[in-house]
Amino acid sequence: MRYQEILPIPALRAYIRYFWVLESDEESEGLRQFKILPDGIPALIYQDIPNFFRDTQQQMAPQLYIYGPFTTYTDQWVEGPFRIIGVYLEPTALKALFKLDASDLVNQTIPIDDLIDTPLLERLQQAQSTAEKVELLAAFILQQIQTVDYENKQAKFASILLQRGQSLGEIQSQMNISERTLERLVKQHIGMSPKVFSRIMRFQTSLERLKTTNLDRLTTLVYDQDYFDQSHFIREFKIFTGNNPTQFLRHSKEELPNFPEWKKEKE
């Protein structure tokens, strides 16, 4: 597989973290499984080949869609070569781009045509190169920013503090807002409660640490990340990956962050 990240132009950096391209020309490996891990962050996804990736219920992913913020892992299967181009958005971007409460899209994949009337899919299908497709996606996002013309600085600030791992009480105090106001702000702009988003951020930090930590030192990681104990950490880890840490490290092969290929034991 080949993976590439492309930084957005300055005008888009408040809304887009980066563009990414994941492609594989492997014909012979048969059906391949990927896990999508929750990171609380939405994305705009384009597949060169329609109706290719499918989920556990055999539902095919749309060719061009918004991937809402997810609160648990999902599994996807694909067979044969593929190319996917993604726009990795900021947590609060959905409201600014589509005038929608992020909570309306949580744990969902929505075809872009269900949200807005746009010729984007047709233009992407006609474009020849990856660079052209990325330019089209960037132009679409920029047009949406200018059309919607919405910004909520409080929501962005709350998102930054949550991603830094600050407690809800610290955030309420720093922003001088009530628990109810923080709850409403985060649900509307990020899509889930502050508590759930905070748990996902802690899981993401723990996952990055786990990749570079000897499992013999797991207890240190657990307490550094403020889990009650190792059992608490493993329960949370299973919610967000479907597996315990040992299984995950043994079977996952990651190119695109939070989209590892799942390698089964050879018989």
The CA-CA-CA angle for residues 246, 252, 257, to 5°, reads: 120
- 3-state secondary structure (DSSP) of residue 179: helix
Strand partners, 45: 65, 86
Residue 143 has pLDDT above 90, yes or no: yes
pLDDT tens-digit series, residues 183-203: 999 999 999 999 999 999 999
Q: Which of 46-55, 147-156, 168-177, 195-204 is predicted with the least confidence, judged by mean pLDDT?
A: 46-55
Q: What is the CATH superfamily name and number for domain 153-262?
A: Homeodomain-like (1.10.10.60)
Domain boundaries for CATH 2.60.120 within the chain: 2-148
Number of other CB atoms surrounding residue 135 within 10 Å: 14
Q: CB-based burial of residue 95 (10 Å sphere; 0-12 exposed, 13-18 middle, 19+ buried)?
A: buried
Distance of CA 133 to CAs 64, 140, 198, 206, 225, Å?
A: 12, 11, 34, 34, 40
Beta carbons of 37 and 22 less than 8 angstroms apart: no
Predicted confidence band at 220 (pLDDT cuts at 50, 70, 90)? confident
Fold of domain 2-148: Jelly Rolls (2.60.120)
Domain boundaries for CATH 1.10.10.60 within the chain: 153-262
Give pairs for 243-250: CB < 8 Å, separation 24+. 245/210, 245/215, 245/218, 246/215, 248/210, 249/210, 249/211, 249/215
Predicted confidence band at 267 (pLDDT cuts at 50, 70, 90)? very low
Nearest to 178 by CA among 188, 189, 168, 191: 168
Strand partners, 253: 261
Residue 28 has pLDDT above 60, yes or no: no
Q: CB-based burial of residue 10 (10 Å sphere; 0-12 exposed, 13-18 middle, 19+ buried)?
A: exposed
